[in-house]
Amino acid sequence: MLVVRTIAKLRAVQKKWHSEGHKIGFVPTMGALHDGHLSLVKAAKSKSDKVIVSIFVNPTQFNDPNDLKAYPRTEKADLALLQPLDVDLVYIPDAGQMYSDQFATNISVDGLTNCLCGASRPGHFDGVATVVTKLFLQTGADKAFFGEKDFQQLQVIRRVVADLNIDIRVIGCPTQRETDGLAMSSRNMRLSPEARAIAPSLNHIMQKCIIDVKTGKSVGEAVSNAKQRLAEIGFGKIDYFEFRDIENLELLEQLDRPARLFAAVFLEDVRLIDNVEIK
Ligand code: PAF
């Protein structure tokens, strides 16, 4: 497994692979890897000849400096997890490699980014769209794998790829969950044992809310009951708890088209997000 820290070296390797006719699969990450990331790597391995994983804690997508500071950096453990999966190359640039002093370009996606996480994290999706575009151009990958847990991010990246005619296939992969239903996230390791015990209820309450709507409650009533239940069992501020169209992320008052239920809720100082497909 090659570990590469510069754009020049990465380019040399990916160009050689392409010249040999290999298709490259790419999994972008910010490290602190868990089984959710590893499932993306496994999907990439099964659908590509060569697999590149990037590890870069991208400063421009954090709107809260404390969140950036608190983000776990676990390079040694990450490499140990990737090695047995037969990853071909791990790309670990530093901030200087990614952003020169003169850096002045911003990729900003309208519409899709005004709601959900975009509403409460100004600038977040500009940071994501810009860094992911750079990583696509640097890796020259043919396919990129993203988790559906960050469903809004996945749709934003799909928009960027379509709008900028980037020659890459974006593949969404199902959210990986702990056995108790909690969506896997690098942030879960910041939960106290008490909060960790409460956290899976977010998904259970979302599932119940979907059943309520399917069995006749209005969206408004089902959502209001769910929010009340979240508060009762110890969750804090609710950033959003909403049904939205899966394509344009428009807010839905009725489930009359393909939809997902999206939630972002604080537990202690950890912001948990989840989304559930409505079958
Ligand atoms: O989902 C993430 O971990 C990040 O947003 C990504 C896609 C690696 C960009 O920094």
DSSP for 101-128, written as a single string: TT--------STTSSHHHHHSTTHHHHH
The answer to whether residue 180 sits within a structural domain is no
- Looking at the predicted structure, is the pLDDT value of residue 70 above 90? no
> Does ligand 1 lie within 6 Å of residue 130's CB atom?
no
Are residues 167 and 205 both part of a single domain? no
Residue 234 backbone zone (phi > 0: left; psi -120 to 50: alpha; other: beta): left
The first and second tokens of residue 97, run together, are 């490699």
For position 226, what pLDDT does the model report? 98
Over 90: is that where the pLDDT of 204 sits? Answer: yes
Among 118, 141, 173, give the residue marking a domain's end. Answer: 173
Mean predicted confidence (pLDDT) in 203-217: 98
Q: What pLDDT score does 96 carry?
A: 97
168 and 75 housed in the same domain: yes
In the sheet that 24-29 helps form, which strands lie side by side, from edge to edge? Answer: 2-4, 89-91, 50-55, 24-29, 143-147, 169-173
pLDDT in tens, 123-162: 999 999 999 999 999 999 999 999 999 999 999 999 999 9
pLDDT at 225 (0 to 100): 98
The answer on 195 and 167 residing in a single domain is: no
Ligand 1: nearest atom to the Cα of 57: 10
30 in contact with ligand 1, CB cutoff 6 A = yes
**Both 150 and 195 in a single domain?**
no
| Residue 150 Cβ < 6 Å to ligand 1 | yes
Among 41, 53, 61, which residue has the most ligand 1 atoms within 8 Å of its CB, making it the best to mutate? 61
Q: Count the domains in the chain.
A: 2
18 has catalytic annotation: no
Statement to judge: residues 113 and 238 lie in one domain = no
User: pLDDT tens, 2-52?
Assistant: 999 999 999 999 999 999 999 999 999 999 999 999 999 999 999 999 999
Task: Identify whether 164 is part of a domain.
Answer: yes
Banded pLDDT at 67 (limits 50, 70, 90): confident
Which of 41, 121, 126, 132 maximizes ligand 1 atoms within 8 Å of its Cβ, making it the mutation to test the pocket? 132
Index of the ligand 1 atom closest to the CA of residue 61: 10
Query: Domain containing 42 — which CATH number?
Result: 3.40.50.620
Read off the pLDDT band of 199 (50, 70, 90): very high
Closest approach atom of ligand 1 to CA 157: 7
Read off the DSSP letter of residue 146: E
Question: What pTM does this model have?
Answer: 0.96
- Please tell me the distance between residue 30's alpha carbon and the centre of ligand 1 in angstroms: 6
Residue 196: both structure tokens together: 């960790």
Contact call for residues 269 and 256 (beta carbons, < 8 A): no
pLDDT at position 75 is 98
Residue scoring higher pLDDT (118 or 67) = 118
The predicted-structure confidence for 100-122, as pLDDT tens digits, reads as follows: 999 999 999 999 999 999 999 99
Looking at 18, 22, 34, 37, which residue is catalytic?
37
Which of these three, 173, 195, 220, is where a domain ends?
173
Query: Is residue 126 lining ligand 1, measured as CB closer than 6 Å?
Result: no
Give me the pLDDT at residue 273, please.
97
Q: Show the domain range for 26.
A: 2-173
Per the prediction, the chain carries an average pLDDT of 97
Query: Within this chain, do residues 14 and 115 fall inside the same structural domain, yes or no?
Result: yes
The predicted model gives 205-225 an average pLDDT of: 98
CA of 149 to the centre of ligand 1 (A): 11
**Cα distance between residue 243 and residue 116, in whole Å:** 10
Residue with CA at minimum distance from ligand 1 atom 6? 29
What type of residue is 84?
A: P
Nearest CA to ligand 1 atom 8: 29
Dihedral (CA of 115, 121, 122, 126) sign: negative
Q: What percent of the chain has a predicted confidence (pLDDT) above 70?
A: 100
Give the CATH number for residue 233.
3.30.1300.10
Task: Based on the fold, state whether residues 128 and 233 are members of the same structural domain.
Answer: no
Residue 279: what pLDDT?
Answer: 85
Residue among 26, 27, 30 whose CB has most ligand 1 atoms within 8 A, to mutate: 30
Alpha helices in the chain (DSSP H): 7-19, 35-47, 65-70, 75-82, 95-98, 116-120, 124-139, 151-163, 193-198, 201-214, 219-232
Question: Does residue 137 share a domain with residue 193?
Answer: no
Could you tell me if 227 and 213 are in contact, meaning their C-beta atoms sit under 8 angstroms apart? no
Select from 173, 207, 225 the last residue of a domain.
173
Q: Of 189, 170, 167, which Cα lies nearest the Cα of 178?
A: 189
The mean per-residue pLDDT over the stretch 218-241 comes to 98
